[in-house]
């Protein structure tokens, strides 16, 4: 493919990324205390007015958390949908979200601080995802996708059962509200250091999925087609699943459980760029980041009390997904 054709193929994803960055600039500059564009740019290089730098300090961590989590969940969702050839596949298909929730809940039950809670959530998500993939590897099923789905359901159910047990034994006046608040999802509690730390595994997972782009397209045609081209279907699937699980665990550890982004964004991107992984994954990540910015802004728009973003993502994502599903059905 020539350079011109590559640029044409990348143009939709680049445009969506630019829209997400423009949305981020709007979020930074607007709010109870608006910041002119010139002051915002000056604050970004450390030469702004004190109030501009203060607002930037308060808004930047939340903004980065929203962008990071939205992009991670959407990219992981696109990867899962390509791998399983299933438009209903989502980042929590292997029970990663439930595992991260269990890890965070146990840490909160033990009175751990924010850093340990996020570390426990990250480890819990990877552990449950690893359990699902390990169990699937032990089976001799001819269809590796089916084995992964079934083992993911089992691993997720075990994590959900453990989470329910933690909720039962949690102290009802301090621990239980903290666990519930974490599970409902929020970008508020993230610090800049935590958001930057989560950016590492998310960028790594996204880079792996993009690197596997053509191979994922081949794998989506079936294991036999992949083998005929000298590709190992099992190795490809494990690598891509590990990358998607890494992204999901980091996102949930940073912001809690925020659903629907990983299901909705790939469908929206597919209507724009089609099914090729090299275009679908970055476009999905840009749309996911933009959607996360929107729901985060809406979380503070209805009064002094902030609405958990997990609730908003479900309230908005469910009807939006239905609309996209109907639009895609009519288009096909």
The C-alpha atoms of residue 154 and residue 10 are separated, in whole angstroms, by: 38
95: left (phi over 0), alpha (psi -120 to 50) or beta: left
Cα separations in angstroms, 290 against 29, 38, 59, 134, 229: 16, 23, 16, 34, 37
Tell me the percentage of the chain whose pLDDT exceeds 70. 92
The yes-or-no verdict on residue 175 having pLDDT over 70 is yes
Q: How does residue 140 score in pLDDT terms, banded at 50, 70 and 90?
A: low
Token digits of residue 266: 């790939």
| Average pLDDT rounded to a whole number, residues 59-83 | 93
Q: Which of 83-87, 138-142, 256-260 shows the lowest per-residue confidence on average (mean pLDDT)?
A: 138-142
How many other CB atoms are there within 10 angstroms of residue 185's CB atom? 22
Is the pLDDT reported for residue 193 higher than 90?
no
SS3 88: coil
- The string of pLDDT tens digits covering residues 99-130 is 999 999 999 999 888 889 989 999 999 999 99
Domains of the chain by start residue, with CATH: 3-331 (1.10.3470.10)
How crowded is residue 90: how many other Cβ atoms within 10 Å of its Cβ?
21
Q: Which long-range contacts (CB under 8 A, 24 or more apart) does 233-239 make?
A: 233/144, 234/144, 236/212, 237/83, 237/144, 237/145, 237/148, 238/133, 238/137, 239/208, 239/212
């Amino acid at each position: 493919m020539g350079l011109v054709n590559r640029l044409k193929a990348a143009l939709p994803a680049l445009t969506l990324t630019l829209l997400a960055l423009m949305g981020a600039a709007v979020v930074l500059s607007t709010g109870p205390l608006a910041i002119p564009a010139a002051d915002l740019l000056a604050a970004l290089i450390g030469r702004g007015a004190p109030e501009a730098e203060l607002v930037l300090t308060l808004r930047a961590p939340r903004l980065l958390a929203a962008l990071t989590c939205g992009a991670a969940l959407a990219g992981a969702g696109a990867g899962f949908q390509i791998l399983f050839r299933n438009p209903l596949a989502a980042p929590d298909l292997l029970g990663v979200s439930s595992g991260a929730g269990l890890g965070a809940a146990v840490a909160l039950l033990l009175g751990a601080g924010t850093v340990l809670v996020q570390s426990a959530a990250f480890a819990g998500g990877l552990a449950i995802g690893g359990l699902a993939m390990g169990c699937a590897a032990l089976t001799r099923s001819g269809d590796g996708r089916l084995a992964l789905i079934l083992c993911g359901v089992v691993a997720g159910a075990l994590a959900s059962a453990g989470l329910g047990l933690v909720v039962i034994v949690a102290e009802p006046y301090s621990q239980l509200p903290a666990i519930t608040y974490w599970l409902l999802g929020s970008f508020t509690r993230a610090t800049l250091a935590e958001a930057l730390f989560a950016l590492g595994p998310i960028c790594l997972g996204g880079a792996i999925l993009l690197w596997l782009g053509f191979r994922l397209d081949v794998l989506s045609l079936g294991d036999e087609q992949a083998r005929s081209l000298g590709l190992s279907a099992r190795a490809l699937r494990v690598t891509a699943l590990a990358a998607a699980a890494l992204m999901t665990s980091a996102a949930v550890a940073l912001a809690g459980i925020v659903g629907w982004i990983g299901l909705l964004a790939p469908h929206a991107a597919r209507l724009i760029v089609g099914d090729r992984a090299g275009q679908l994954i970055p476009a999905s990540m840009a749309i996911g980041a933009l959607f996360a910015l929107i729901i985060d802004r809406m979380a503070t728009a209805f009064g002094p009390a902030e609405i958990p973003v997990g609730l908003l993502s479900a309230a908005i994502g469910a009807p939006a997904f239905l609309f996209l599903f109907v639009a895609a059905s009519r288009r096909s």
